[in-house]
Amino acid sequence: MAKRNPYFHNYEENYLFPEIARKKQELLQEQPDAKLISLGIGDTTEPIPKVILDGIRKKVDELGTVEGYTGYGSEQGEAELRELIASKLYQGRVEADEIFISDGSKPDIGRMQVLFGSQASIALQDPTYPVYKATAVGLGQKVVAMPCTQENGFFPDLDATERTDVLYFCSPNNPTGAIPSRDQLQQLVDFATANRSIIVFDSAYAGFIRDDALPKTIFEIEGARSVALETGSFSKLVGFTGVRLGWTVVPRELLFEDGSVYEDWKRVNNTFFNGACNIAQAGGIAALSDEGLAAGRTLTDFYLENARILKDALTKLGHDPLGGDHVPYLWTPFAGASSWEMFDRMLRERHLVTTPGAGFGPCGEGYLRFSAFGHRADIEEAASRLLESGVVA
């Protein structure tokens, strides 16, 4: 009989967000009339801007004509989209042919584990987006934690960090909302250079940064092209969580001890992927027009305003949430109960779905993450439910 992938025995628990969805269903079975508001998974709720839909519709219509029909595209993605990403999002810091268009950052992170292989050791911020660890465990990679806490300003103590082959870094950070300064990112790049490690920089939330002094991409940092690749996403930028579109930038200078990361990533894409959906790519092209960028800005502003409403309510209650200014999440410390207990109380007593900090790693214990993705009326209702019920712990 066939045996399971032996590393799958190492999975301790369900993946975080399906587990939250399961708890939500459980509550709805007990209390079918509960009007739950989701502040849990960071999933966009607002309509895709018209200018982007027009781009999508045009492509759909073209696919219905003999002249306009296209089949398999380039595995690396449409040249026009790659050029727009290079110029509009990276201001020419990367070349169009260093960009690989994908069906989103999460699948790219999964494919990256194939790029690095089972023998790779990886370092992760703790707390962190759970996909890095979840995909590493399934391959048997060695995982090292880099604690990020209030005490170290949510930036890891690199002097105390063991050398690994790969280092994942998410900024603006999901879940803590922390954004390292340019100097801190320089330290990270210098650390990777000294250790001959590769940084995987996740910039999925860069579109929410509202302070030009804060770095939006690792490629603003000197020396980064030789040690880092970066994954980005249209999901939160223009409401494409369902449409699916992202990219990964791999500079040609980035090398393994015995080969080119660029060539190997190309191989992974050629063999594991057939290119992103051509309709989604047409939407991406429209999103990067001047009008599309302005519409994306309006959309991300909307979610940041949601974050402000929730932050105000939590602050009035005496909590001290982090984030919300340049990221659509509030990282809120709660004393006196575990984060899963706090999650349960929010769910059962206020009918608010949040995310327990411990789901992002041991250093997330004592926190709840509130997502600011939601319709305005729901966010206002969530804020008043918080205020009515008073301080939680």
Q: Whose Cβ is closer to ligand MLT: residue 262's or residue 367's?
A: 367
106/111 with CB nearer ligand MLT = 106
What is the nearest approach in angstroms of ligand MLT to the Cβ of residue 41? 4
Tokens of 42: 């960071």
- 76 vs 371 by CB, closer to ligand MLT: 371
Residue number with CB closer to ligand MLT (100 or 129): 129
Please say whether the beta carbons of 230 and 203 come within 8 A: yes
Q: How far is the CB of 349 from ligand MLT (least distance, A)?
A: 22
Hey, which residues between 185 and 214 contact ligand MLT (CB under 6 A)? none
Rounded to a whole number of angstroms, the minimum distance from the CB of residue 172 to ligand MLT is 12
3-state SS string for 211-239: CCCCCCCHHHCCCHHHCEEEEEECHHHHC
Q: Which element (helix H / strand E) includes 144?
A: strand 142-147
Measured from the CB atom, the residue of 106 and 133 that comes closer to ligand MLT is 106
User: Does residue 42 belong to the site contacting ligand MLT (CB under 6 A)?
Assistant: yes
**Nearer Cβ to ligand MLT (111/225):** 111
Closest C-alpha to 238, from 50, 5, 374: 50
For the sheet with 322-323, list strands across it. Answer: 322-323, 329-333, 367-371, 355-356
Tell which one of 102, 128, 141, 174 touches ligand MLT (CB under 6 A).
174
> Position of tokens 């991300």?
300
Q: Which long-range contacts (CB under 8 A, 24 or more apart) does 158-161 make?
A: 158/187, 158/188, 158/191, 161/123, 161/191
Beta strands, E only, 293-340? 322-323, 329-333
Contact 126, 361 (CB under 8 A): yes
Name the closest residue to ligand MLT (Cβ).
42
Query: How far apart are CB 334 and ligand MLT at their closest, in Å?
Result: 19
Helices (H) and strands (E) in the chain, counts: 12, 15
Main-chain phi, psi angles of 304, to 5 degrees:
-70, -35
Q: How far is the CB of 40 from ligand MLT (least distance, A)?
A: 7
Evaluate the CA torsion angle 326, 327, 328, 330 in order and state its sign.
Answer: negative
Question: What is the Cα–Cα distance from 101 to 73, expressed in whole angstroms?
Answer: 11
State the number of binding residues for ligand MLT (CB under 6 A).
Answer: 5
CA gap 82, 267 in Å, rounded: 18
Instruction: Give the bridge partners for 38, in sequence order.
Output: 353
Considering beta carbons, is residue 129 or 155 the nearer one to ligand MLT?
129
Q: Which of residues 118-137 bind ligand MLT (CB under 6 A)?
A: 129
CB nearer to ligand MLT: pick between 49 and 104: 104
Tokens of 108: 């790219």
The residue within the footprint of ligand MLT, chosen from 23, 59, 106, 311 (CB under 6 A), is 106
Tell me whether residue 129 or residue 262 sits nearer to ligand MLT (CB atom).
129
Choice from 21, 27, 36, 41 touching ligand MLT (CB under 6 A) = 41
Binding to ligand MLT by CB under 6 A, coded x per residue (else -) over 50-89, reads ----------------------------------------
d(CA 33, CA 350): 13
Least distance in angstroms from the C-beta of 23 to ligand MLT? 15
Residue 206 Cβ vs ligand MLT, minimum distance, rounded to whole Å: 14
To ligand MLT, the closest distance from the beta carbon of 244 in angstroms equals: 11
Q: How far is the CB of 170 from ligand MLT (least distance, A)?
A: 10
Binding footprint of ligand MLT on the chain (CB under 6 A): 41-42, 106, 129, 174
